[in-house]
């Protein structure tokens, strides 16, 4: 298992020097953030980012993420040129030593939350998703929620939502298939593993189709192009937000088949209605049994990349909610401790 940490570049208040000091940290997960979605990532920018990370004795082998343009998700005539740009970016990443690309196929909205600052009893604050709040919102009226792309003006967002009005789940599946059948052969050729991230949360929102939500969906993604280059980012917090998903079982199934290339470890407190908030990583703090999830990875012989996902904001830290240094560092150490304990128990049996 390779412990990594997400870093948002020079604008991130969390420095590479700080990340380097986390015990057991081996690598950085990052991206090129100043290139418009749909354009080719220049090789020189990737090299510059890699060299900056490696100068701190941290590996740079995972990209999160190369965004998929909305025209590809909508199946518009412009998608062929955009897919060509996407595959050229993959070639440039491979030439720089990148091995895994995390991406998602969520329409319009990436991760969605209703609050960035839910205050917990210990005084820390965290990200929250409330179903009733989402159900009351009409995003076409210019209302913004955390996690949304703020580059859209209200009229642009309304127009984009109208374009999706005629696209159902099967239509989105067809557009994902079109994308994968053109991208995965290139990824295989250059030695890149594509790792799709599940929907966050794993449910339809605002009438938009969501198609990567559960075991059946994950199997369907893998079956579209059944090759090792087509794999998964298994996010415990995203999939765990549906109480019908047993995350440890999903790990056992897909890691045993060697189709998980990136593990996001996040704990949440979730109820049957689908409301949830993000907690510290410990099993005792949330609804997910992180020890059982790590045990499942170990049982499957997982050797891939893992990172502590969203954390609370603690000890007065400010910055990008969910992506502070302190709680994610505690999460990394906790996860490494679980892993070490599991491995030592194996040797004693």
Strand, helix or coil for residue 113: coil
**pLDDT above 70 (res 35):** yes
Place of tokens 């374009």: 163
Residue 90 to residue 237: CA distance in whole angstroms: 27
Active-site annotation, residues: 197, 235, 264, 309-310, 323
Residue (of 341, 344, 330) closest to 23 by Cα position: 330
Strand, helix or coil for residue 149: coil
- Report the percentage of the chain scoring pLDDT > 90: 86
Residue 87 to residue 110: CA distance in whole angstroms: 21
* Predicted local confidence at residue 136, as pLDDT: 87
Ordered structural domains, the chain, with CATH: 2-107+168-268+280-348 (3.20.20.150)
Question: What pairs with residue 303 in β-bridges?
Answer: none
Average pLDDT over residues 166-180: 97
Contacts of 293 (CB under 8 A, 6+ apart): 236, 247, 248, 251, 265
CB 128 within 8 A of CB 279: no
pLDDT digits (tens, 9 = 90+) for 240-259: 999 999 999 999 999 999 99
pLDDT band at 158 (very low <50, low <70, confident <90, very high): confident
HSE-CB of 1 using CA atoms within 13 angstroms: 28
* Predicted local confidence at residue 349, as pLDDT: 61
* Predicted local confidence at residue 131, as pLDDT: 95
Residue 257 to residue 281: CA distance in whole angstroms: 26
Residue 296 to residue 256: CA distance in whole angstroms: 9
* Predicted local confidence at residue 155, as pLDDT: 80
* Predicted local confidence at residue 143, as pLDDT: 66
**pLDDT above 80 (res 266):** yes
Which sign does the torsion angle of CA 116, 213, 268, 260 carry?
negative
């Amino acid at each position: 298992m390779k412990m990594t940490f997400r870093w948002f570049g020079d604008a991130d208040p969390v420095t590479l020097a700080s990340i380097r000091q986390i015990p057991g940290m081996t690598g950085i997960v990052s991206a090129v953030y100043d290139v418009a979605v749909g354009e080719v990532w220049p090789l020189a920018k990737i090299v510059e980012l890699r060299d900056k990370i490696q100068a701190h004795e941290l590996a740079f082998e995972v990209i999160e993420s190369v965004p998929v343009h909305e025209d590809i998700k909508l199946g518009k005539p412009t998608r062929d040129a955009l897919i060509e740009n996407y595959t050229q970016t993959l070639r440039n990443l491979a030439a720089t030593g990148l091995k895994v690309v995390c991406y998602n196929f969520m329409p319009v909205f990436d991760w969605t939350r209703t609050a960035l600052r839910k205050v917990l009893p210990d005084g820390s604050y965290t990200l929250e998703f409330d179903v009733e709040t989402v159900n009351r919102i009409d995003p076409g009226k210019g209302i913004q929620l955390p996690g949304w792309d703020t580059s859209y003006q209200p009229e642009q967002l309304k127009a984009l939502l109208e374009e999706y009005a005629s696209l159902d789940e099967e239509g989105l599946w067809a557009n994902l298939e079109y994308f994968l059948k053109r991208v995965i052969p290139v990824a295989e050729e250059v030695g890149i593993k594509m790792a799709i991230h599940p929907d966050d949360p794993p449910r339809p929102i605002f009438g938009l189709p969501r198609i990567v939500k559960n075991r059946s969906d994950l199997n369907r993604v893998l079956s579209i192009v059944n090759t090792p280059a087509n794999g998964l980012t298994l996010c415990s917090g995203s999939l765990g937000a549906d109480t019908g998903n047993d995350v440890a079982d999903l790990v056992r199934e897909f890691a045993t088949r060697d189709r998980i290339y990136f593990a996001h470890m996040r704990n949440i407190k979730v109820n049957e209605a689908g409301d949830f908030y993000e907690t510290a990583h410990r099993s005792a703090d949330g609804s997910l049994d992180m020890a059982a999830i790590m045990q499942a990875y170990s049982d499957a012989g997982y050797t891939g990349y893992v990172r502590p996902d969203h954390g609370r904001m603690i000890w007065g830290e400010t910055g990008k909610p969910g992506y502070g240094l302190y709680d994610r560092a505690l999460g990394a150490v906790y996860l490494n401790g679980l892993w070490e304990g599991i491995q030592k128990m194996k040797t004693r049996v």
